[in-house]
């Protein structure tokens, strides 16, 4: 913690040793002072309450039931420094996840940290020091710079960064992945050809370029033009069916693999070709079943009773259906209305009408519309009343 002065000392564990005694003396003095009164099992100990700027020698003895061992002494004295600010690594957000670069790209990463006095910066990979022939490290008071001029796939991995001040330490991990385009797919086969379709199958590439395969691009080329056209942009499976091929053409196919870096430089090409043959087909017209349209007459809308005024023409309406088209006969009081200029009979689209021109009370009665065809007949009736308007004379008194 800030303002605390202490010395952290490690000791190697000895086989058969039960406890340890730790001793210290100031560089100017000659007497050794035990810093722990009772032996203990740990091989790590913090000597506290020391003065800033002091230099001390440290030694340790192993203690067992047979007595104490010959002391092991540090070759150099330890300088006591006050920790004003604990070490802390401030890892940038984009470096907290896997840092992806392409082969040949430069890796230039700056990681800031804090701590007083100036911390000691240590980089390792797999608990081993870095290869300085490929990786350059430059440290300042506030940051450390990790630099690779041209990244290779062998540079991928987890790099450990440690910032230390005496016994205080902070650690962080830099995960780098260097990727490149994948290799071509393997074992491309032309499985089947039928109609306008071709079935293809292949295996994933042997080298994925250090990145997950996202999909495959399938292209076709006809023998006439010799040009390649994309049939499938991104196929996520290792098999596909290519459709809508042209009859009479001969096709070759190739497949590219794709990862986060892009398409493979080379493609897998089918060893054989697919010939889309012309198939002879005989035209067979569709057989439409014959429907019996014959139907006896049937009124869908009957006649309705009407009342009219003498001298005002009126109309009677009804609707009928049937096949063949029925013959329409109009009757008044069961007597057929023949050619009479007073009556005008019409039929259009199954709607039958009878116009009675300027009727008189004599024209009132029961009117019948009768429909007849070879399959039967039907009829509807209505009543027509013709009223006479009576005028009442009135006189005006004279003054």
pLDDT in tens, 276-327: 887 766 777 888 887 778 899 999 999 999 999 999 999 999 999 999 999 9
Whether the Cβ atoms of residue 102 and residue 180 lie closer than 8 Å to each other: yes
Selection from 389, 381, 337 nearest residue 363 by Cα: 337
Q: Lowest mean pLDDT: which of 200-204, 208-212, 273-277, 370-374? A: 273-277
Residue 269 confidence (pLDDT): 94
pLDDT > 60? residue 397: no
Whether the Cβ atoms of residue 328 and residue 352 lie closer than 8 Å to each other: yes
Average confidence score pLDDT of the chain: 86
For residues 204 and 211, what is the distance between their CA atoms, to the nearest angstrom? 13
pLDDT > 50? residue 369: yes
pLDDT > 60? residue 12: no
Residue 179 confidence (pLDDT): 95
Average of per-residue pLDDT across 380-391:
88
Selection from 82, 35, 41 nearest residue 57 by Cα: 35
What are the tens digits of pLDDT across the range 131-141?
989 999 999 99
Give this prediction's pTM: 0.53
Pairing of strands 376-387, 306-309: parallel
27: left (phi over 0), alpha (psi -120 to 50) or beta: alpha
* DSSP-assigned letter for residue 95: G
Average of per-residue pLDDT across 176-198:
93
Rg of the chain over Cα atoms, rounded to whole angstroms, equals: 54
For residues 270 and 262, what is the distance between their CA atoms, to the nearest angstrom? 22
Average of per-residue pLDDT across 342-348:
92
Q: Tally the C-alpha atoms within 13 A of residue 163's C-alpha that lie toward its C-beta.
A: 26
Q: Lowest mean pLDDT: which of 13-17, 161-165, 196-200? A: 13-17
Average of per-residue pLDDT across 179-197:
93
Question: CB neighbours (10 Å) of residue 345?
Answer: 15
Selection from 151, 236, 166, 153 nearest residue 202 by Cα: 236
Q: Which residues contact 275 (CB under 8 A, 6 or more apart)?
A: 193, 249, 250, 251
Selection from 199, 354, 171 nearest residue 274 by Cα: 199
What's the pLDDT band for 392 if we cut at 50, 70, 90? low
pLDDT > 90? residue 240: yes
Selection from 1, 10, 144, 31 nearest residue 135 by Cα: 144
Q: Which residues contact 208 (CB under 8 A, 6 or more apart)?
A: 182, 183, 257, 259
Bridge-partner residues for 241, per DSSP?
199
Burial class (CB within 10 angstroms; exposed 0-12, middle 13-18, buried 19+) of 36: middle
User: Coil, strand, or helix at residue 361?
Assistant: helix
Residue 122 confidence (pLDDT): 94
Whether the Cβ atoms of residue 371 and residue 327 lie closer than 8 Å to each other: yes
What's the pLDDT band for 389 if we cut at 50, 70, 90? confident
Question: CB neighbours (10 Å) of residue 56?
Answer: 21
Selection from 169, 167, 171 nearest residue 9 by Cα: 167
What's the pLDDT band for 85 if we cut at 50, 70, 90? confident
Q: Lowest mean pLDDT: which of 78-82, 117-121, 367-371? A: 78-82
Q: Lowest mean pLDDT: which of 48-52, 126-130, 201-205, 361-365? A: 48-52
Average of per-residue pLDDT across 166-191:
93
What are the tens digits of pLDDT across the range 329-340?
999 999 999 888
* DSSP-assigned letter for residue 399: -
Whether the Cβ atoms of residue 45 and residue 67 lie closer than 8 Å to each other: no
For residues 310 and 220, what is the distance between their CA atoms, to the nearest angstrom? 89
Q: Tally the C-alpha atoms within 13 A of residue 269's C-alpha that lie toward its C-beta.
A: 8
For residues 331 and 335, what is the distance between their CA atoms, to the nearest angstrom? 5
- Three-point CA angle 128, 132, 138, nearest 5°: 105
């Amino acid at each position: 913690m800030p303002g605390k002065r202490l010395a952290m000392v490690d000791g190697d564990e000895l086989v058969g040793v039960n406890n340890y005694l730790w001793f210290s003396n100031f560089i100017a003095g000659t007497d050794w002072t035990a810093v722990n009164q009772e032996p203990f099992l740990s091989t790590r100990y913090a000597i506290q309450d020391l003065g800033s700027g002091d230099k001390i020698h440290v030694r340790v003895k192993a203690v067992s039931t047979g007595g104490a061992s010959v002391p092991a002494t540090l070759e150099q004295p330890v300088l006591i420094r006050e920790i004003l600010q604990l070490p802390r690594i401030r890892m940038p957000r984009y470096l907290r996840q896997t840092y992806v670069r392409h082969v040949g790209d430069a890796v230039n990463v700056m990681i800031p940290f804090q701590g007083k006095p100036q911390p000691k910066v240590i980089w390792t990979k797999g608990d081993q020091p870095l290869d300085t022939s490929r990786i350059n490290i430059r440290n300042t008071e506030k940051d450390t710079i990790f630099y690779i001029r041209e990244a290779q796939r062998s540079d991928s991995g987890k790099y450990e960064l440690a910032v230390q001040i005496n016994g205080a330490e902070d650690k962080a991990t830099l995960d780098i992945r260097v990727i490149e385009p994948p290799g071509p797919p393997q074992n491309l086969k032309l499985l089947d050809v039928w109609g306008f379709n071709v079935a293809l199958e292949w295996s994933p590439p042997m080298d994925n370029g250090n990145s997950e395969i996202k999909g495959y691009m399938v292209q076709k080329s006809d023998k006439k033009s010799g040009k390649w056209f994309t049939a499938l942009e991104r196929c996520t499976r290792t098999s596909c069916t290519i459709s809508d091929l042209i009859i009479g053409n001969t096709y070759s196919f190739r497949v590219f693999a794709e990862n986060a870096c892009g398409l493979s430089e080379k493609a897998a090409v089918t060893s054989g070709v697919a010939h889309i043959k012309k198939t002879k087909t005989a035209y067979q017209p569709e057989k439409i079943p014959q429907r019996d349209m014959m139907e006896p007459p049937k009124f869908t809308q009957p006649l309705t009773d009407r009342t009219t005024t003498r001298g005002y023409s009126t109309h009677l309406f009804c609707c009928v259906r049937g096949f063949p088209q029925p013959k329409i006969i109009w009757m008044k009081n069961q007597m057929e209305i023949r050619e009479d200029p007073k009556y005008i009979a019409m039929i259009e689209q199954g709607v039958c009408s009878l116009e009675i021109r300027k009727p008189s009370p004599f024209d009132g009665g029961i009117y019948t519309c009768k429909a007849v065809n070879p399959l039967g007949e039907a009829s509807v009736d209505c009543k027509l009343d013709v009223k006479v308007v009576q005028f009442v004379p009135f006189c005006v008194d004279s003054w």
